[in-house]
Every structure is written in structure tokens, then in C-alpha cells.
Amino acid sequence: MKLNDTIAAISTPTGVGGIGIIRVSGPKSEEIGRLLFMPRKEVDHFKTHHLYHGEIVSPEKDTVLDEALITMMRKPHSYTGEDTLEINCHGGQVILQAVLSEVIKAGARHAEPGEFTRRAFLNNRLDLSQAEAVYDMIMARTDRGLDMAVGQLKGNLSKKVQTLRSSIIDILALLETSIDFSEEDVEILPTSELAGRIQPIIDDLRKLLSTYHEGKIYRDGISAVIAGKPNVGKSSLLNRLLGEKRVIVTPIPGTTRDFIEEVTNIKGVPVRLTDTAGIRDTENIIEKEGVELVWEKLSSADVVIIILDGSEKLAGEDMEIIKKNRDKNHVLVINKSDLPHMLNVRELDDILPGVIPLWISAKHGEGIPALKEHIHSSIISHTDDRRSETIITNLRHKTALEKALDLISKTRENILGGISYELPALDLRESLESLGEIVGETINEEVLDRIFSTFCIGK
């Protein structure tokens, strides 16, 4: 990748809006700004991080393209660490494309996906974990997910990784000193004490790794499939959990024949809710196909919400649904609590001993807050506030931490086993490289290409 050229892209989403922003980064940024921007008041020198009002023109056509505001941000105090120009136009796509076209003619080239953030990383404005946090912030679907991404962008994970690396370097220095003085029969540190210094690093790595399950859930969300026989209130429950009428609800069994999926926020977790066809024996070919697809969908669900009709006696279809899902992560719900209770809860003890079902009314909203709490607690086991902790959300980080943990654990075992220090020292160096991958100190171009290819063009 070239760092001596100038790149440009539209940084605001596609569509119509009040404002659209074109970002330019590289050595020709100011030159392009002076060529295309005609300020309302004469300006001898663009001050850094100041807004200027004027018009964007096409030098070739000698026409005004738009009234605009521009900002010149001089290196190294810009997002990319390079001279950066931002052009604030009106937010129509025709306007933005016309201005971008003039920027390209003036000497810039189209930016690649994530290239602005990649340049920020290469110019040491961000480390790699912080660069990945930029993507997570843009893609966050809940406040909790955003909170975690902001923490990572602020350097919470980076600081933790650097602290671990510093501790490993201290131990590596002791090992290498012992190796250098091995012929003089000098023991720098007793073996037991050396192993004791390694144990806190192992404990910290394990603690950090233990946060991945939670972090992944808040970042990527979970799937929750609503299952039950026809007309028990699955669609009504979906509408109630979403807080809007998304699905048609009728008293006619079999109204829902295909999956209907929507994402909602349950206590900070993005939950992809799926309304499914009612499960029953049927001769209708379309409905039968829908029921078969339900069973497939249930097999991959993170949570199964089993819904029963409290105004009717327990049916064979209910029993089948419960039996086939009782070993999965499930929440048992009895709907229509507003109607006379005909379902005998004691009959459930034979197949779900000790389970206390939750009574709700999807129609009137009774029991819905408790249901949300049940869904959340079925996937997040702890109840304490962990917002202050460093939580990992990225599989790449988890893999690097696991490798480092394995190497450091092996180092401790080898030291206690009396193995020559050369081998533990090699393992410690490799663990440093593994941790360095998280922040980008040891990373290859192929991995960088893969990471930044997921970003949008203007970021």
C-alpha cells in the first residue's frame, strides 16, 4: 500500500441527507482544497482545524457545484496522521459524486475500504486493536456494544496487553541473564520464585479470555427462536418484544409459514428474534415444509423460547416441542395469562422437573419485563456490573491470547521441571509475538488486508 499518495472518499452513508462529507487524506490535500474551494472571504493560509465557508467549483467547467464548509487538518494531528481535508456539502448523492469526481481529477485517487483507518494505524495514530474498535463502534447495535467498543478505542485492551508484555519481558530478561551466566553457576533467581512470577500472568490471561463469551454476545448478538404450536401467540410475542406491530396476527392457525426475523435490544444484547410457523401435523404441503424448516432453525438457536397456550390443556404438539428442546438453552413461557387458566402446570414436571414456567400475556404485555430478564440471564450468567473491566470481543484477539496462554503455561511447567532455560526463553519470545499481534506490533500484510477489507470505503 502506498502512503505517499492522496486518497478520497465519501464518508457519509449512501442516501439523501442534510450534510454529506468527502474526506481527503495525503500530501495533496491542501493543494486540492485550494484548487476547488473558493472562500467567501479571502484566506491567505488555511488554519488547521478551522471551518471555512465558501463554494466548491469545477475549474474545468468554471461552474459552482455547491455551497460548502471545509476543514484542513494538518499532520500529525488528524485522524490518519496525514494532512486531511474534509468537505462538508449538502447531502445529495449527485452533489457528492460531482464533488468527489473533481477531487479525483485534482490528483487524489479513490480510497480502498478502511484505508483511512489503515493509514491511521500505519502512522501510529491507533494500534490495531483500536483500529478494529472503530469498526465495532460503527456497527454497534446497542449501547452496551458501543460502550465496549469505545473502551477498546480508548486503549483499555491495548494497555492490558502492553502490561502483560512488559511482565513477560521482565521474566525473559531474567532467563536470558541466567543463560549468559550459566557457565559461572550463578542462579539469578530460585526456580520456584521464577515460576511464581509467571503465575500472575497466566491468571490475567485466563481472566481476560473468560470475558470473550460475554463480549462476543454484546458485539455480535444472539439468535432467539420462538417455537410453539399454531395460534399460541408466537407472532403476538414477537410484536410485543419488538415494541411494534411487525407481524400479522390472526386467530387462524398457520398464518405464519415462513421465518420472520427482527433484531431487538434486550438489556444491551442484540437479540435476533425469529417468529416461526406453528408446529403441528399437517397435510398442507407449504405448511409442512415450513414446519420442517422450523426444526432446522431450532437446532442452531442460541435460545429457544417455548411458548404454550395457558387457556388450553397441554397438547401432544406441546409435549413434542418441549421434549425436543429441553436439552437446549430454553425459556418456557405460558401465554394468555389474561384468560382462564386451563393448562395444568404439574403435567410439565414429568418432562421438565423443577422448571417454573413464566406466565405472560403477549396481548396486554403482562410478564414481558420478566421474560426479557429470563432471556438475558439465560445467556449472561453474572449479574454484577463489568463495565469497568477489559472485555475482549474479537475472535482474532481470543486466538492470540489462547496461544500466549499455552506458551506461558508451558514455560512455567518447563522451568519447574528443570528444563534448560533456552527452551522456556524461546516460548516466551513466541508469546510476546502472539500478544503483539493484538495491537499490531507483529502482524503481516495479509492479516491487515483481511481486517480492513470489512470496513466501509469512507472509513
DSSP letter string, 383-451: -S--TTS-----HHHHHHHHHHHHHHHHHHHHHHTT--THHHHHHHHHHHHHHHHHHTSS--HHHHHHH
pLDDT at 184: 55
Per-residue pLDDT tens over the stretch 241-262: 988 776 544 454 444 446 788 8
Residues 181-193 as b or e (16 or more Cβ within 10 Å = b): eeeeeeeeeeeee
**For residues 392, 394, 399 and 404, what is the CA-based torsion angle, rounded to 10 degrees?**
-40
Residue 422 CA to residue 399 CA, distance in Å, equals 25
- Compute the distance between CA of residue 366 and CA of residue 321 in angstroms, rounded to an integer: 24
pTM equals 0.83
Domain 132-211+391-440 belongs to what topology? Four Helix Bundle (Hemerythrin (Met), subunit A) (1.20.120)
Residue 335 CA, chain-centre distance (Å), reads: 34
The pLDDT of residue 459: 86
Query: CA nearest 322: which of 347, 300, 340, 302?
Result: 347
Q: Give the model's pLDDT for residue 270.
A: 94
pLDDT at residue number 256: 47
Please state which architecture CATH assigns to domain 218-379. 3-Layer(aba) Sandwich (3.40)
Residues linked to residue 10 through DSSP beta bridges, in sequence order? 22
Residues forming a β-bridge with 271: 222, 264
Hey, where are the domains in the chain?
Answer: 7-126, 132-211+391-440, 218-379
CA distance 345 to 198: 54
What is the C-alpha separation between 221 and 265, in angstroms, rounded?
Answer: 9
- Taking the CB of residue 19, how many other CB atoms lie within 10 A of it? 11
The DSSP call for residue 265 is E
Task: Give the DSSP H or E segment for 331.
Answer: strand 330-335
Omega cis (within 30) before 230: no
- Rg (C-alpha) for the chain, rounded Å, is 30
Going from the C-alpha of 90 to that of each of 15, 22, 36, 135, 156, the distances in angstroms are 12, 11, 16, 25, 37
pLDDT of residue 33: 95
Q: Give 361-399 as a 3 state SS string.
A: ECCCCECHHHHHHHHHHHHCCCCCCCCCCCCCCCHHHHH
Residues 214-235 as b or e (16 or more Cβ within 10 Å = b)? bbbbbbebbbbbbbbbbbbbbb
pLDDT of residue 255: 46
The reported pLDDT for the residue numbered 56 is 96
Q: Which residue has the cell 420442517?
A: 292
Residues in the chain: 459
CATH placement of domain 7-126: 3.30.1360.120
Q: Tell me, what's the pLDDT at 413?
A: 93
Put residue 26 in one of left, alpha, beta given phi > 0 → left and psi -120 to 50 → alpha: left
Map 188-215 to HEC letters.
CCCHHHHHHHHHHHHHHHHHHHCCHHHH
Sheet strand arrangement including 358-359: 260-266, 269-275, 222-227, 303-309, 330-335, 358-359
What residues in the chain have per-residue pLDDT under 50? 248-250, 252-257, 383-384
Confidence at residue 354, expressed as pLDDT on a 0 to 100 scale? 82
Asked if residue 151 lies in contact with residue 215, where contact means CB atoms within 8 angstroms, the answer is: no
